[in-house]
Structure 1
Amino acid sequence: MFEVLKSSWALLLGMFLLMLGNGLQSSLLGVRGGEAGFSAFEMSIVMSAYFAGFLLASRFTPELIRRVGHVRVFAALGSFISAVLILYPAFPDPIVWAVGRVIIGFCFCGVYVTAESWLNNSASNDTRGQALSLYMIVQMVGIIAAQGILLVPDASGFLLFVIGSVAVSVAFAPILLSISPTPAFESTKRMSLMQLFRTSPLGCVGMFLLGGVFAAQFGMSAVYGTAAGLSLQQISLFVAAFYVGAMLLQYPLGYMSDRMDRRRLVTAVAFLGGLAATFAVLFSSSFTILLASAFLIGGAANPLYSLLIAYTNDFLGHEDMASASAGMLFINGLGAITGPLIIGWAMDTVGPEGFFILIAALLLTLTAYGLWRMTRRAAPSVDETGKFAPISQASSPVFMEVAQEYVSDAAEAAEAARSDAA
């Protein structure tokens, strides 16, 4: 762990500041949109736009890096992020904000691709697993800390947008001053979506449904808090609860997944998250229940992302794991674009409770589909399953591929050890 910190502290510090800015702008827009009188559906378009930009960048950023290099791409995209964060309060219009969110989503994905390439290059085979875990923890802590900044006075002025812009701008200094350019970027050959679905129907359907849940907690949770009449302090705690749950429950569930039928765990965790969302609908007047529900939903949805990838890997050869990552990311991105739009429509139709109603519907649908898939084919034995790797839904294709390669290497090492023992 200390070796990883020694070699990657600048990158991890920069990523913390980037997530501080990203988490702050998402929650801040949700609050400001309500103050400006935007409808829930208008805000859903704004929030959905981020994931559209993110998905576009996952396709085009690798080519940009090949053409002009990591450093130039990193610096250019960072400049755009800072500029858009400053422009938000100057043009309080949902169309302008949606365009800005597309740009920011595109830029953040490109920044993640570049940073994660550096992270992979600085880690050795022995430390890669620790580097992946630390990176994901830093992402979560950055988003959680951003909710505290939301309480800084002057919430109706420019100050909070300036803080987000400064955090993003400063984030690039430790990275660019301490890290040399990485080798040429190479992406893995993609697996077709049809081939991926045939390999793991549960993995593909689950990734699409979880995209909607993740987009809800990242983009629409502050919109819900504003519509439900929560105070700014309550909104801050509410949004943070999703990520605290994700950070604390990721590893216990990952430990369990390596020791039992992953489909049973996926189904049970999805049901727990769906039940928590249902309770939030029934007892929405209790802020304590809202906090507990947010904690459990975040603690279910984020580990489910990693669980579904691990489950899909159980049916892939080692050589196919990295190539499947792009397809999984694309499917999740489609769900993330669609989810906020449906939630915004639901909130305008039935009220703020539409936020939790849709989350409950998505997670309980995953529960039902997981139960049905159990009747279609037998699960692989625990001895034949691969290793769980924590992966954030905010990660880029590079992180996905690195995590897949790490799992593949771990599986090959385990097989070699068993062969030597035999």
Structure 2
Amino acid sequence: MSGTSEMKQDKTLYFILIGVIVAAGISQGMLLPVLAIFLERMGVSSGMNGMNAAALYIGSFGMTLAAERILGKVGFKKLIAAGLVLVMLSLMVFPLFPSVGLWFVLRILVGVGDSALHYASQLWVLMMSTSRNRGRSISIYGMSYGLGFSMGPLGINLLNFGNHVPFFGLAVLFAVLLVIVLIRMPDVRPERQASGDAPGRGRYMKSYALAWYALLPAFLYGYMEAGINSNFPVYGLRSGFSLEQISSLLPFVGIGGLLLQLPLGIWSDRFGRKKILMTAGITGGVCFMLIPFAGTSYWPVLILLTIAGGMVGSFFSLGLAYAADILPRTLLPAANVVAAFHFNIGSILGPNVGGAAMQTGWISGVFIVMGLLYILFACSSLWFKRGSNPG
């Protein structure tokens, strides 16, 4: 990667990237529950509510199709700056025009912007890390996003000061970051693909064939993240929780991820990422399936959400780290794209499957299906036999 030595030595750049990822996490963590509450109050069905939430990930999915090519042409700085601008402008429009159709379009634009931010930053982290510290490095990245995502639902409380306050406040944060990125971030581009590498689609297929198990956690993380944040407010309201209880419970999924993100990353460096992913998947899946049985008991639900979030909150980052262990460095950009595909597919399905389940009257299905998916993932490890290839 041209200019990587400059990037690696510049600690300021590292903290800028961390700030960008925190902001991206806040935007997703806030928009999902806040808009879900607005749509529920507007009388929109839970199924349509979930479909509207999935628009964010449709935009992210579309951006993923072109992310690698765009990054190669414009570089890290311009791609990150464009993502910040797109999200910032979209945030300012949301409260001005309360329209279900327009919100669908705006969510697509936010998804495009957030996808640009994620792709550029997480690829940089992967390329700079080694097999010895990869789990720790990618976990710090994941913690940064998790911190932002867990802070996002707190925007529900800002609605007391006006429906526009959460959106405009976050737009100001993006504006500040944009100025910092334009002033301090070096203009760096990834190296061009070597002539001997597999071309186009072949690179994606090869990375998937070699590391499919390591790329599945991205799907599960997207399913959980989008499903919880868009469906839980509706689940909570229909189960009997108050808005204050919902806004205080939601962050604990992210808080659990923050608490265990770094320990799980370090343990994966020591004991192997496959074992950690299997153990975390089973534990998190069981906790999700127990939530409906806790009813409206606040503390049991809080504890279960925290444990479940702690176990599976590292799935995206640990999966990428595991893929980087297995794959040659030339396939990492392609693997990053495949992981983003999986994340977006999961994020689209999560709100829709949960919303459809609640619409049929199976409210507990939100968590039962989610838990089963994590347990099935752990069991599928029996069919993945490839070893690591550190480097």
Please state which band the TM-score falls in when normalised by the shorter chain: 0.7 to 0.9
CA drift of 1:205 comes to 4.8
Q: Which residue of 1 aligns with 2:52?
A: 46
Is it true that 1:253 corresponds to 2:286 in the alignment?
no
CA drift of 1:359 comes to 1.1
Change (3 A) 1:169 1:343: same
CA drift of 1:349 comes to 1.3
Q: Which residue of 2 aligns with 1:396?
A: none
Q: Tell whether the 8 Å contact from 2:18 to 2:144 is kept in structure 1 after alignment.
A: yes
Q: How far apart, CA to CA, are the structure 2 residues paired with 1:53 and 1:26? A: 14
Q: Which residue of 1 aligns with 2:243?
A: 232
Q: Tell whether the 8 Å contact from 2:85 to 2:178 is kept in structure 1 after alignment.
A: no
Q: Tell whether the 8 Å contact from 2:215 to 2:320 is kept in structure 1 after alignment.
A: no
Q: How far apart, CA to CA, are the structure 2 residues paired with 1:216 and 1:72? A: 31
Change (3 A) 1:356 1:155: farther
Task: Choose which of 280, 289, 292 in structure 2 pairs with 1:281.
Answer: 292
Stretches of 4+ aligned residues off by more than 6 angstroms = 117-121, 123-128
The more displaced of 309-318 and 247-256 is 309-318
After TM superposition, list the pairs within 5 Å mapping 1:246-325 onto structure 2.
246-260=257-271, 262-312=273-323, 315-317=326-328, 319-325=330-336
Q: What percentage of residue pairs aligned between the two structures are identical?
A: 21
Q: Tell whether the 8 Å contact from 1:74 to 1:110 is kept in structure 2 after alignment.
A: yes
Change (3 A) 1:87 1:299: same
Task: Choose which of 142, 146, 158 in structure 1 pairs with 2:148.
Answer: 142
Task: Choose which of 16, 19, 34 in structure 2 pairs with 1:13.
Answer: 19
Task: Choose which of 79, 104, 107 in structure 1 pairs with 2:85.
Answer: 79
* Matched residue type, 2:285: G
Q: Which residue of 2 aligns with 1:56?
A: 62
Q: Tell whether the 8 Å contact from 2:240 to 2:296 is kept in structure 1 after alignment.
A: no
Change (3 A) 1:133 1:203: closer
Q: Tell whether the 8 Å contact from 1:50 to 1:101 is kept in structure 2 after alignment.
A: yes
CA drift of 1:314 comes to 5.4
After TM superposition, list the pairs within 5 Å mapping 1:97-108 onto structure 2.
97-108=103-114
Q: Which residue of 2 aligns with 1:340?
A: 351
Deviation string, structure 1 residues 60-110 (Cα, Å, up to 9, x no partner) = 244445555655544444333223222223333333222211111001112
Q: How far apart, CA to CA, are the structure 2 residues paired with 1:134 and 1:269? A: 18
Change (3 A) 1:175 1:227: farther
TM-score after normalising by structure 1: 0.76
Is it true that 1:331 corresponds to 2:342 in the alignment?
yes
CA drift of 1:307 comes to 3.9
* Matched residue type, 2:63: A
**What secondary structure does 2:98 align onto?**
coil
* Matched residue type, 1:366: F
* Matched residue type, 1:369: S
Q: How far apart, CA to CA, are the structure 2 residues paired with 1:6 and 1:318? A: 25
Q: Tell whether the 8 Å contact from 1:40 to 1:347 is kept in structure 2 after alignment.
A: yes
After TM superposition, list the pairs within 5 Å mapping 1:106-255 onto structure 2.
106-114=112-120, 132-154=138-160, 157-183=163-189, 186=192, 194-255=205-266
CA drift of 1:240 comes to 0.9
Q: Tell whether the 8 Å contact from 1:40 to 1:345 is kept in structure 2 after alignment.
A: yes
Q: Tell whether the 8 Å contact from 1:53 to 1:103 is kept in structure 2 after alignment.
A: yes
Q: Which residue of 2 aligns with 1:366?
A: 377
Deviation string, structure 1 residues 121-174 (Cα, Å, up to 9, x no partner) = 9x7989996765544332222222333343125266222222222222222122
Change (3 A) 1:346 1:132: same
Change (3 A) 1:222 1:193: farther
Q: Tell whether the 8 Å contact from 1:43 to 1:94 is kept in structure 2 after alignment.
A: no
Number of residue-to-residue matches in the alignment: 378
Please list every run of 5 or more consecutive structure 2 residues that lacks an aligned counterpart in the other structure.
1-8
Q: How far apart, CA to CA, are the structure 2 residues paired with 1:162 and 1:321? A: 37
Q: Tell whether the 8 Å contact from 1:12 to 1:135 is kept in structure 2 after alignment.
A: yes
Q: How far apart, CA to CA, are the structure 1 residues paired with 2:311 and 2:129? A: 31
Change (3 A) 1:175 1:72: closer
Q: How far apart, CA to CA, are the structure 2 residues paired with 1:85 and 1:217? A: 21
* Matched residue type, 2:378: T
**What secondary structure does 1:350 align onto?**
coil
CA drift of 1:14 comes to 4.3
Q: Tell whether the 8 Å contact from 1:280 to 1:293 is kept in structure 2 after alignment.
A: yes
CA drift of 1:360 comes to 1.6
Q: How far apart, CA to CA, are the structure 2 residues paired with 1:319 and 1:233? A: 48
Q: How far apart, CA to CA, are the structure 2 residues paired with 1:84 and 1:319? A: 35
TM-score after normalising by structure 2: 0.81
CA drift of 1:51 comes to 1.3
Q: How far apart, CA to CA, are the structure 2 residues paired with 1:114 and 1:307? A: 18
Computed over aligned residues only, the root mean square deviation of the Cα atoms, in angstroms, reads 3.5
Change (3 A) 1:89 1:354: farther
Q: How far apart, CA to CA, are the structure 2 residues paired with 1:377 and 1:81? A: 39
**What secondary structure does 1:352 align onto?**
coil
Q: How far apart, CA to CA, are the structure 2 residues paired with 1:341 and 1:26? A: 13
Change (3 A) 1:300 1:186: farther
The more displaced of 62-71 and 146-155 is 62-71
Is it true that 1:34 corresponds to 2:40 in the alignment?
yes
* Matched residue type, 1:293: L
Change (3 A) 1:76 1:205: closer
